[in-house]
Every structure is written in structure tokens, then in C-alpha cells.
Amino acid sequence: MRKYFQIFKTHWQSSFIYRLNFIMWRVRTILQFFGVYFLWLAIFIGQDSVFDYSKSVMLTYVIGTAILRSFVFSSRSVSVGVEIANGDLNNYLVKPLSYLKNWLARDLADKLLNIIFLTVELFLIVLIIKPPIVAPISFSHLAIFFFAVILAMMMYFLFSFLISSFTFWYPEHNGWPLRFFIFMIIEFLAGGLFPLDILPAVAFKIFRFLPPAYLVFYPIQIYLGRLDFSQIVSTILIMLAWLLVLYKLSRIVWKKGLKIYGAYGR
């Protein structure tokens, strides 16, 4: 355990070196947020409710997804593909170290850094644009929401790791083409731009069982109190099931990949 804590710390130290990089990334996140926020604000002009969402609930949804996206979708494991393609993976494979846990530790470090900055940013945003934010309907909803977010982060991490593992078979361009294709779809299906339940009923019926819906959409639904007790239970169960599937799958693919690994770069 201690070794992964050390990786966590080393990752932090290394992150602080690139101050400018870091600031630019934060600004990008904020701009992205403003884009979606003002779009929805415009839609609500002259009406109080759209698609069964009141203005304040929708704007809370938008702010919530912005926070969750910068959180859940911020996996450093994109580098896994690069390290497979250029052979840097060798450095880890010769050591008594789990490569998966190594990246989990680095991801956690990254996310903790996010929380700190996010808190400051959120404070400023609330101060400046005074958005109508809906409070969670109860403390237990808030607690379950946090639990769901942790599961969502794990799901995304494993999924990202799984996609990167395919670089063993297609090392060209560090595995980016596949990654780009898949993650465009995920962004859409996760409900980052709009709530999934405003889609046509048929589409929603399909998408609600796919993993992306559990990354952003469902956790926020829990926060907003739009799910009843049995729906919350089934949501958490489905998330746990997907988590297990993703874990098993990523392990299998990783092991198969290692057998054909070329350990390139000399």
C-alpha cells in the first residue's frame, strides 16, 4: 500500500511543475461549463419548465454535470496507451508493482488536486453568476450521491484502462483513434450536455442500461432527488455490476495483451 501512496505523492510533485499547463486546463473546464450553462439559461427564457425540468433543477443539473465531468472524466490513464506504444511500460513491468494500481494512485492524486481547485472555482462562480442551485433533498441522498460518484470514477477509470489496453494490438498513433471514437460516444451517452431523460423514450430505455449513463446522469439524478428508493437501489446495483464486468474484462484484455506485447523502443 505504501508504494502506491508514494506514487500518489510523486505524481503530485510532478503535477506542480507544470503550473501554466495546469491553469490552462482549469480555464478550459470553466469555459466549457459556461457554454452549456448559458445555452440552457437561454432556453428557459420565457418558460419555467422544459422537458419536465424546472429552471433551477436544470441549472443545478448543468453545474453538477460540469463538476462531475471534470472529475469522473479526468483519468490520467490515457497515458497507458502511450506507454504501451513506446515501450515505457517496460519500466513498470520489471518492478514489483501493479500497473493498474499505479495508475489508480496517480488518478486519485489528480482528482484530489481537482477537488481543491474546483472548490475555489465553484465558490467564485456562485459568487459571480448567482445560479439557482437546488439543495439535495436529504442528507442520505447526498451521501448516496457521493458513493455513486466514487463508483462512477472507478467505472470510468477501468473503462479508460480497458480501451488503452487495445493499444497492444493497434500501437499506431498510441491507440488514439479508437480512444477518440469511443470517448466521443461516451460523452454523449453520459448526459454531460443534457439530461438523458429528455431523449425520446425508446432511446432512453436503451441508454439507461449502458455504462455511460452511470458516469454522470444517474449520480446527479440521485442528488436532485428524481429517483425513488427502489430506483436508487437498482441504480447502485447496476453500477456495481458494471464495475465488476469492467474490472474482469480489463484484466483479461490486459493479460492477453501482455502476451503479444513487443516491448518496443529497443
For the CB of residue 169, give the shortest distance to other proteins in the complex, in Å: 11
By CB under 8 A, residue 258 contacts other proteins? yes
- B/e letters for 184-214, b = 16+ CB within 10 Å, e = fewer, are eebbebbbbebbbbebeeeeeeebbeebbbb
- Beta carbons of 239 and 155 less than 8 angstroms apart: yes
- Beta carbons of 237 and 148 less than 8 angstroms apart: no
| Cell numbers linked to 81 | 496507451
By CB under 8 A, residue 38 contacts other proteins? no
By CB under 8 A, residue 52 contacts other proteins? no
For the CB of residue 164, give the shortest distance to other proteins in the complex, in Å: 18
By CB under 8 A, residue 169 contacts other proteins? no
Q: Which of 23, 93, 115, 135 binds other proteins (CB under 8 A)?
A: 93
Q: Which of 82, 97, 125, 142 binds other proteins (CB under 8 A)?
A: 97
By CB under 8 A, residue 7 contacts other proteins? yes
Burial class (CB in 10 A: 0-12, 13-18, 19+), 139: exposed
For the CB of residue 4, give the shortest distance to other proteins in the complex, in Å: 8
Q: Which of 50, 88, 129, 169 binds other proteins (CB under 8 A)?
A: 88
Of 8, 23, 19, nearest to 109 by C-alpha is: 8
Q: Which of 5, 38, 180, 181 binds other proteins (CB under 8 A)?
A: 5
| Cell numbers linked to 56 | 433551477
By CB under 8 A, residue 13 contacts other proteins? yes
Quick check: helix, strand or coil at residue 54? strand
**Binding residues for other proteins (CB under 8 A):** 2-3, 5-7, 10, 13-14, 17-18, 87-88, 90-91, 93-97, 258-263, 265-266
